[in-house]
């Protein structure tokens, strides 16, 4: 299970005009669909409901009729109003059960967890995202890390897929698979490498993702066959 988590500011640049950032994120979604990524988690904390809904509809237009599904981070109201494939709830957000009661059939509900106890409290979710596993640019240096041992404990404690998040790169695919996780979620892994401070930076870091996804699936499959 492979999840692309969005961050339009990292993707298009902090100073990119909203329209440019939006087009860049749509381009990234197109690459995700072409690569067969399972989930796009639309996580744009700073957008108001109207702008988030517009971006949700953009991504749904890209993924319609494909195997890639779009889940909106934490905004159950926006996800339902736009007809998104699901919602991804923060650990401190509304509980899964009340969200499930108002969601239509087939609506995906994921939840972020940081411990076995939080995983137990997420009963009824379709999948869990566990982290932060490794040090990550999106978290401060003081942020507590779950590590591979903690990831494995969570994966063994539930019967639904557990996805690793936090500092994931291609060198860690085997270790994540060996922990018992069903896959991973990432932000920077799915962007072109940033250039140095003294060179011109490309206006959009969206890039083809098929090679990364193929490598990840083959390595997870190899570990699972060996276990």
CATH code for the domain of 84: 3.20.20.70
Is the CB of residue 3 less than 8 Å from the CB of residue 184? yes
Return d(Cα 19, Cα 23) in angstroms, integer: 6
Any bridge partners for residue 150, and if so which?
none
Largest CA distance in the chain: 53
Return d(Cα 11, Cα 187) in angstroms, integer: 9
Domain count, the chain: 1
Range of the domain at 150: 2-226
- 98: CB partners within 8 A, 6+ apart: none
In tens, the pLDDT along 150-197 reads 999 999 999 999 999 999 999 999 999 999 999 999 999 999 987 555
pLDDT at 195: 58
Any bridge partners for residue 111, and if so which?
89, 128
| Confidence class for position 198, pLDDT limits 50, 70, 90 | low
Any bridge partners for residue 70, and if so which?
40
Percent of the chain at pLDDT > 70 equals 93
- Reading the block at residue 6, the tokens are 């969005």
From 2-16, 73-87, 124-138, 149-163, the region with the lowest mean pLDDT: 124-138
What pTM value is reported for the model? 0.93
In tens, the pLDDT along 40-64 reads 999 999 999 999 999 999 999 999 9
HSE (CB half, 13 Å, CA atoms) of 200? 3
Per-residue burial over 117-151, b if 16 or more Cβ lie within 10 Å, else e, is ebbeebeebbbbbbbbbbebebbeeeeebbebebb
């Amino acid at each position: 299970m492979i999840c692309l988590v969005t961050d339009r500011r990292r993707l298009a640049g902090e100073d990119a005009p909203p329209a440019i950032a939006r087009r860049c994120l749509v381009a990234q979604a197109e690459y995700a669909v072409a690569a067969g990524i399972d989930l796009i988690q639309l996580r744009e904390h700073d957008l108001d409901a109207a702008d988030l809904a517009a971006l949700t509809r953009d991504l749904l237009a890209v993924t319609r009729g494909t195997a890639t599904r779009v889940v909106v981070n934490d905004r159950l109201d926006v996800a339902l109003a736009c007809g998104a494939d699901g919602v991804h709830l923060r650990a401190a957000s509304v509980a899964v059960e009340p969200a499930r009661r108002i969601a239509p059939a087939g609506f995906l509900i994921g939840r972020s967890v940081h411990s076995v106890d939080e995983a137990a409290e997420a009963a009824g979710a379709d999948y869990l995202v566990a982290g932060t596993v490794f040090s990550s640019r999106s978290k401060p240096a003081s942020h507590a890390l779950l590590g591979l041992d903690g990831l494995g404990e969570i994966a063994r404690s539930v019967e639904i897929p557990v996805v690793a998040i936090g500092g994931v790169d291609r060198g860690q695919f085997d270790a994540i698979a060996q922990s018992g996780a069903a896959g991973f979620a990432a932000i920077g892994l799915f962007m072109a490498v940033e250039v140095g401070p003294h060179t011109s930076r490309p206006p959009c870091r969206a890039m083809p993702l098929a090679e990364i996804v193929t490598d990840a699936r083959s390595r997870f499959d190899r570990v699972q066959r060996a276990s």
